[in-house]
């Protein structure tokens, strides 16, 4: 595979997006299909150049891709785990991680500005090194290491031996429980951008490219996503989608009515972003121009934001 092949995959992505964008589930399965095309192409290229992968491995996504909550555009958040703990294996799989990252960029997926990619040795490790790394992050419990654990919690295997990632998820959850990190995780996610003002108005950006638009990612998505992720640690829920996490909460922790309220509003938020997001590129997909919304559409968005804040406040009391 070469430059032309990855750009052909991008053409396939662009062609299929319109048909795949009717609902969140269909859209995210389509993204997975494109990812599989890119990863398969990268593995094929590495195999021709350097031989077969030296050991079983799992390539996994994190972030919105890991939770299957991507919009039309998505960026890269991924990692890689492999079983063979040798320098040769590390060199091979780091090359594979770099190839996949380059291929994804050519296929239309922006690189992660924070370097959370399998092309970075921090996110491309042997099973043994990963287990050690998770223990170090939990033991350090700094703001940055807690952030890494929160990022890793959304990991979902998309290619290779999924059992390797399951083993690491078990390790991560055990470490968080042993070190009693839930409260620190809560503190790590407490800054939430206000979406509604004291007079009940939607709070739009006041300067810059998105003046007049509201940032759905920071004002609406973060409260739901962060709250559900925190509860997944306390409840031992390894599933990554926010809706799955809410549905799997014990009835002792949250009533059926409360779970339905939070799930229905998060589902509505996913649909709302698809319908009203700008979607010119990755960044614009997080914004909605409030001047283009009807009175009823503004009311619906306010309700979603209020329920998200209510969910997060609920979880703060539980943690």
Give the pLDDT score at 63.
97
Distance from C-alpha of 117 to C-alpha of 121, rounded to nearest angstrom: 9
Q: Are 70 and 241 in contact (CB under 8 A)?
A: no
Query: Mean pLDDT score of the chain, rounded to an integer?
Result: 95
Instruction: Give the separation between CA 1 and CA 239, rounded to whole angstroms.
Output: 33
- Structure-token pair, residue 149: 């654990």
Q: How far apart are CA 37 and CA 31, in angstroms?
A: 10
Alpha-carbon distance values, 68 to 65, 118, 235 (Å): 5, 19, 20
Residue with tokens 């033991």: 139
User: Which whole-number Å values give the CA distances from 159 to 43, 72, 79, 80, 162, in the listed order?
Assistant: 10, 22, 11, 10, 7
At 279, the pLDDT band (50, 70, 90 cuts) reads confident
The residues, ordered by sequence, that sit 6+ positions from 74 with a Cβ below 8 Å of its Cβ are: 31, 64, 65, 109, 110, 282
In the three-class reduction of DSSP (H, G, I as helix; E, B as strand; rest coil), residue 94 is classed as helix
Report which of residues 258 and 19 the model is more confident about.
258
The three-class DSSP label of residue 60 is strand
- Give the tens place of pLDDT for each residue, 232-241: 999 999 999 9
What is the pTM assigned to this prediction? 0.95
pLDDT at 191 over 90: no
Indicate the pairing of strand 124-126 with strand 57-61.
unpaired
Joined together, the tokens standing for residue 256 give: 């059926």
pLDDT at site 283: 87
Report yes or no: 66 and 165 within 8 Å, Cβ to Cβ.
no
Instruction: Using the structure block, give the residue that is written with the tokens 């998060």.
Output: 266
Confidence label for 4 from pLDDT (cuts 50, 70 and 90): low
- Flag whether pLDDT at 1 surpasses 50: no
pLDDT at 18: 87
pLDDT over 90 at 202, yes or no:
yes
Q: Which distant-in-sequence residues (6+ apart) come within 8 Å of 180 by Cβ?
A: none
Per residue in 47-57, pLDDT (tens digit) is 999 999 999 99
- What's the token pair of residue 140? 């350090």
CB count within 10 Å of CB 294 equals 8
The pLDDT value recorded for residue 3 is 59
Burial class of residue 209 in the structure, from the number of CB atoms within 10 Å of its CB (0-12 exposed, 13-18 middle, 19+ buried): exposed
């Amino acid at each position: 595979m070469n430059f032309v092949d990855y750009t052909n995959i991008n053409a396939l992505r662009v062609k299929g997006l319109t048909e795949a964008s009717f609902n969140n589930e269909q859209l995210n399965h389509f993204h997975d299909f494109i990812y599989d095309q890119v990863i398969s192409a990268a593995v094929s290229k590495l195999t021709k150049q350097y031989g077969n992968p030296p050991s079983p491995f799992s390539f996994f996504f994190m972030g919105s891709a890991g939770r299957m909550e991507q919009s039309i555009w998505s960026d890269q958040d991924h990692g890689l785990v492999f079983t063979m703990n040798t320098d040769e294996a590390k060199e091979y799989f780091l090359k594979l991680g770099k190839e996949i990252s380059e291929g994804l960029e050519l296929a239309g997926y922006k690189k992660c500005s924070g370097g959370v990619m399998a092309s970075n040795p921090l996110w491309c490790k042997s099973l043994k090194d990963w287990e050690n790394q998770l223990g170090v992050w939990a033991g350090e419990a700094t703001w940055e290491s807690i952030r890494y654990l929160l990022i890793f919690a959304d990991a979902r295997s998309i290619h290779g031996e999924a059992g390797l990632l399951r083993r690491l998820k078990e390790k991560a959850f055990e470490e968080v429980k042993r070190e009693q990190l839930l409260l620190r995780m809560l503190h790590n996610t407490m800054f939430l951008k206000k979406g509604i003002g004291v007079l009940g108005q939607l709070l739009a950006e006041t300067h810059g490219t998105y003046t007049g638009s509201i940032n759905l990612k920071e004002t609406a998505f973060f409260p739901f996503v962060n709250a559900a992720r925190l509860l997944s640690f306390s409840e031992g829920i390894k599933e990554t989608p926010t809706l799955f996490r809410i549905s799997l909460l014990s009835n002792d922790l949250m009533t059926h009515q409360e779970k339905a309220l939070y799930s229905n509003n998060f589902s509505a938020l996913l649909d709302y972003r698809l319908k009203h997001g700008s979607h010119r590129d990755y960044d614009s997909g997080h914004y909605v121009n409030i001047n283009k919304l009807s009175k009823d559409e503004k009311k619906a968005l306010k309700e979603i934001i209020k329920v998200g804040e209510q969910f997060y406040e609920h979880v703060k009391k539980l943690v």
